[in-house]
Structures are given as C-alpha cells and as structure tokens.
C-alpha cells in the first residue's frame, strides 16, 4: 500500500540517516585491515606525531570519503531509475553504465598496453556516459512503450559490450591481469584526487535528481495523470536518464562496478519515508553512503590482515536484503 511520510517523520528519518552516516564515517577511521588503538587514533587526529598511523588514517579517510560519495551516487541513481521506469527492480545497470565503463577501460588498456592508472577514471567515465547516450538515442525516443523499449535497448547494448569485454580479456592476458582487479569494485587505492575528478558530474547528477523529484512524484501516478497535471513526461524521463547516467557513471569510473547499492537502498528509503521522491532522494543518498562505508569496514575487518573488496561484500549482503525486501513487500509501498 502506498503512503506518504509526514514532514515530521521525514525530518526524523533524515536526521537519523545523518547520524548513521556520521557513525559509519567515524568507524571507518578507527577500524581497518590492521588493528589500531583507539586512543592512538584520537591522539593523531588531535595532532600527535606518528607518521605511520597518520598514513594509515589518510588511507582510511580516503576510503571513507569515496564510500560516502559513491554510495550516495549509486543510491540516488537507483531512486531515479526506479522512478522514471516505475520498476521496483530498476537499477543503474539497466542503462549499460557498468558494461560501458568496463568496455572503455579494457579498450584503453589494450591500446596503450598500460595498467589502470589514475587516467582510467576519465576513460571509464567517458565510456559509461557514451553508453547511456547510446541507449537513450536508440531506445528512448519511442513514443509508445518507451520505457519498455529503453530497457530492452539497455539489455541488448549491455549484452554486446559484455561479449566484447569478455573477448578482450580472454584473448589479451595483459588486459585481463589489470581488469580483474578493477571489475570487482574496491575503495582501496582511491585517493581524494579521484573524488575531485568525479566531483563535477556527481554534483550535477545530484542537483538534477533533486530538481526532478516533484516530477517523479507525478510520474508515479501514471503517464496520463502526470501529463494532465502539466508534467512534461518526456523531459522528466530524459532528465532522469541524464541524472542517473551522470551519477552511476561517476561512481563506476571511480571505484569499479558495485552491485546492489543502487537496487536495494531505494527500497529501504521508500520503506522509511514513503513514495515522495523529495524525501527519498536525500535519505537514499545518506543511506547509500552509510551502507557502502559499512560494507567496506566489514570487508577489511573480517579478513584481517587481508581484505575482501567492497564489491564482493555488497553482493553477498545485497542478495539476502533484496529477498527480504521482496518478501515484506517494500517494493510495493
């Protein structure tokens, strides 16, 4: 049964989400692949001279920042995709973002013969955005059943690019050696320079998603009703695809493919604040950041002194969560 949260409930959930993100971020500084004394961490944060622990905290800070912004980007992209398609199983991967980024970085590695350095962020971002544009141009201009056509086009493009990527990695061992680490998805080794590189498309995508929230509310009532209310449905849909494309492309380019965040977090946000996208977008952004930071902490702590990449952790945790969401009917609320 659909519902709309009261302003008081929405504000309370938003405040609790901010607190949860703060707790997760704090835990990200104190917990990691190596056990660190809490008092020593506090001392370094206060300015104590400990070069080794300072370096450890710098690495943890970078991972925490990347987890917050990437998780937020994927979660908001999921909210927008589910809104414009009215499909509770909608996810950024429907636009071919992941396979587009993968195909681009594989091609760059094959052409240049080099590994996946800092320039791979830009390569992946371009590849993901080009794929989104291709999917929209080919499948999004149908006036009849445009959503279905768009999803089918995304599936076809994804299948073709996946086949291309697999062919390249199987026939080029040097490409495979570099690609196999990127394709899992990890927050490790991503400095704040990577966050700066994706800041512009990420900010643009978030602002556009916020601006589209009222239109997505009307679209949830059906295209005919939305049109009768004066909502420019084609424009809202195109803007949603652009917002989701920017957000998911930036996130994928920065850390590689991360599963389930864009699919599961919108369900959780909807269960907490209802169907109003004006609440869903900010709450999902905060929950997505919290979830990804927490998943990264779990991957570092349970496998000490090694780590389980965050892409694996989200996949392991996301499956049972999504099953629970379906069984409880969160998608239908």
Quick one: tokens of 273?
């604040």
Beta bridge mates, 4: 274
The pLDDT averaged over each successive group of 10 residues in the chain (333 residues) is 69 93 92 81 80 85 93 94 84 83 83 62 84 81 62 87 87 75 78 86 94 91 83 87 88 86 89 90 95 92 83 83 66 49
The confidence score (pLDDT) of residue 2 equals 47
> What pLDDT is stored for residue 146 in this prediction?
63
Separation between Cα atoms, residue 45 and residue 135, nearest integer Å:
47
Please calculate the CA angle 120-125-126 and round it to the nearest 5 degrees: 100
**Confidence at residue 141, expressed as pLDDT on a 0 to 100 scale:** 58
What is the signed CA dihedral for 214, 219, 220, 222, rounded to 10 degrees? 150
Enumerate domains of the chain plus CATH numbers: 34-62 (no CATH), 72-299+308-332 (1.10.3470.10)
Alpha-carbon distance 103 to 107, whole Å?
6
Residue 67's pLDDT is what?
93
Phi, psi (deg, nearest 5) at residue 49 = -90, 100
Torsion sign over Cα 215, 221, 223, 224: negative
Closest CA to 269 of 26, 24, 22, 80: 80
Residue 274 φ then ψ, to 5°: 85, -160
Rounded to whole angstroms, how far apart are CA atoms 90 and 113? 36
Structure tokens at 197: 């590189």
Burial (Cβ within 10 Å: 0-12, 13-18, ≥19) of residue 173: exposed
User: CA–CA distance from 192 to each of 67, 117, 196, 237 (Å)?
Assistant: 11, 14, 6, 33
CA–CA distance, 14 with 89 (Å, rounded to integer)? 24
Q: Which of 283, 285, 289, 260 is nearest to 271 (CA)?
A: 283
């Amino acid at each position: 049964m659909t519902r709309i949260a009261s302003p008081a409930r929405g504000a309370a959930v938003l405040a609790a989400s901010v607190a949860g993100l703060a707790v997760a971020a704090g835990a990200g500084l104190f917990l990691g692949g190596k056990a660190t004394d809490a008092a020593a961490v506090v001392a370094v944060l206060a300015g104590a001279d400990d070069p080794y622990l300072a370096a450890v905290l710098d690495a943890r800070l970078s991972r925490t920042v990347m987890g917050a912004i990437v998780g937020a980007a994927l979660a908001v992209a999921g909210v927008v995709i589910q809104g414009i398609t009215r499909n509770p199983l909608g996810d950024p991967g429907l636009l071919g973002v992941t396979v587009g980024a993968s195909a681009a970085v594989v091609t760059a590695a094959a052409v240049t013969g080099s590994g996946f350095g800092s320039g791979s962020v830009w390569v992946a971002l371009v590849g993901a955005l080009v794929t989104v544009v291709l999917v929209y141009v080919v499948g999004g201009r149908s006036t009849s059943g445009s959503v279905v056509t768009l999803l089918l086009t995304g599936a076809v493009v994804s299948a073709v690019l996946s086949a291309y990527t697999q062919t390249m990695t199987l026939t080029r061992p040097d490409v495979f050696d570099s690609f196999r680490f990127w394709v899992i998805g990890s927050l490790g080794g991503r400095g704040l320079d990577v966050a700066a590189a994706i800041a512009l498309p990420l900010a643009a995508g978030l602002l556009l998603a916020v601006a589209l929230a009222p239109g997505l509310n009307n679209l949830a009532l059906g295209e005919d009703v939305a049109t009768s209310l004066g909502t420019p449905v084609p424009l809202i849909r195109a803007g949603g695809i652009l917002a989701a494309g920017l957000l998911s492309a930036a996130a994928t380019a920065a850390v590689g493919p991360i599963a389930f965040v864009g699919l599961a977090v919108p369900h959780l946000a909807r269960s907490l604040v209802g169907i109003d996208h004006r609440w869903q977008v900010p709450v999902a952004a905060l929950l997505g950041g919290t979830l990804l930071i927490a998943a990264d902490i779990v991957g570092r702590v349970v496998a000490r002194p090694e780590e389980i990449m965050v892409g694996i952790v989200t996949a392991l945790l996301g499956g049972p969560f999504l099953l629970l969401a379906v069984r409880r009917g969160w998608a239908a609320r």
